[in-house]
Amino acid sequence: MRSLLISALVSIGCTDATIAPEELSGLDQSVTVCATGSTIKGIDVSVFQGTIDWPKVKADGVVYAIIRVSDGLNTPDSKFAANWANSRAAGVIHGAYQFFEPSQDPIAQADMMLAKTGPLKPDDLPPMIDVEVTDGLAPAAVAAAVKKWIAHVKAKTGRDPIVYTGFYFWGDNVGGANVLPSPLFHAQYTTAACPNIATPWTTWAFWQYTSSGAINGIAGNVDVDRFNGTKAQLLAMLGPPGSCGDGTCSAGESTVSCPEDCGPCATIETAGGELDDSEACFEGGGPATYMRQVTDAGEKGGLTWTHATADATEYNYGTWNLYFATAGHYKLEVYTAAAYAQSKLAKYVVHAGDPTAQLADQAAVVDQSAADGWQTVGEYDFAAGGHQYVHLGDNTGETAATNTQLVFDAIRLTLTGANYDGSGSDAAPGNRAGCDATGSSGGALTFGLVLGLAAFRRRRC
């Protein structure tokens, strides 16, 4: 494979490339982006790895592999067919990549790759474009060719292709082109804990952090990668996009994203029920380092807490995913343990009602320090079924300097009135009773909330 200019990235699958020490340690670390929690081990391979013993690779803890199809149109990878079939047989999740030649027809290159892989199967990651040479073209021309490849592959597969590149190469040679929402496969060989990535991305999905890895079943060095997420998040990227409601729990669907096909993570029965932060319906987000689990307090002997911030966007958060046996008007309560609950501005966002309707998320601010036990958030109309939730972010408005602790613990729902039919005919789904956290009639603030994470920044441990 190819060596790389110092201003660019090292080539994927290019374990014969020579990397100067300054390339490893001299990269600008001013825009570092850390993993959101634990990462998952993978590799990327090509003909340069020779014949691979895939069962040994899997036994060495490799969960996924990205396999080269070709270098442009003229150099198909002679090991692709064997690697593609044998990785699948060994139970290794796999995806295909193409070393992109910008001067060649991008549609023809994409079609060549798609012909080699065939339609996406349940254990296939989205195709990946490896962008690391210009072929002498200007940044605008490289960007235009890359975008054509991406658009064509997405139209054929229904998935956003992955983009492999590096910080300097993308900025200098592709002009920082915006190809979102394609996920980033970042290349940077370093011993640093967190890489620095190219704009427009604010996070990375994969990080190729070394070209000199040692993996059982592979003779010589191999590129080793990290996936930024949980196993469930990796699985959600697999296969053709599922059609929720078709009766099949397809790759990419889960008990949260499609309870209709996969079954719910838990069911709130007609009379009501509890969901704890230790259970499957709770999802904590953001860097796991800052989501502390303790076992000396909490409704069920434990809770999760983080520090509140005054940032414009949330960094860590918790979501309780809800699935109701029947529609109804329910009181929502949250458990706050005085040993850890300090936030006076905890903003609980409730997404309730018919998921097919245009619903405005609603929020109620709770003083978590006001009670050691259950506190009322409000009363809401919930529809039967799922795609409803309670969400709490760390950006309460309380500054990091105060070290204010925000807790995520159990929530409780109790039926309080006649069943809401989910049609929206009686009242707009939401906090009809206008209850605030103290049970008064002041009303909860209603607003539309756009959920998501901004670029990560360093914060207090």
List residues with catalytic annotation.
44, 130, 132
CA dihedral 87, 91, 92, 93 (to 10 degrees): 110
Rounded Cα distance, 368 and 343, in Å: 5
Q: What is the DSSP letter of 268?
A: B
* CA pair distance 210, 219, nearest whole angstrom: 16
CA distance 412 to 312: 29
- Residue 127's nearest CA partner among 106, 144, 104 is 106
CB 63 within 8 A of CB 40: yes
Count of C-beta atoms within a 10 Å radius of residue 384: 18
Instruction: Give the number of other CB atoms < 10 A from CB of residue 275.
Output: 21
Under 8 Å between Cβ of 406 and 396 = yes
CA-nearest of 354, 330, 334, 353 to 343 is: 334
Q: Which residue has the tokens 């592709």?
A: 174
**Chain position carrying tokens 């709490």:** 392
Q: Report d(CA 338, CA 346) in Å as an integer.
A: 14
Tell me the two tokens of residue 358. Answer: 């245009």
Residues whose CB falls within 8 Å of the CB of residue 298, separated by 6 or more in sequence, listed in order = 277, 335, 337, 409, 410
Q: Which amino acid is at 74?
A: N
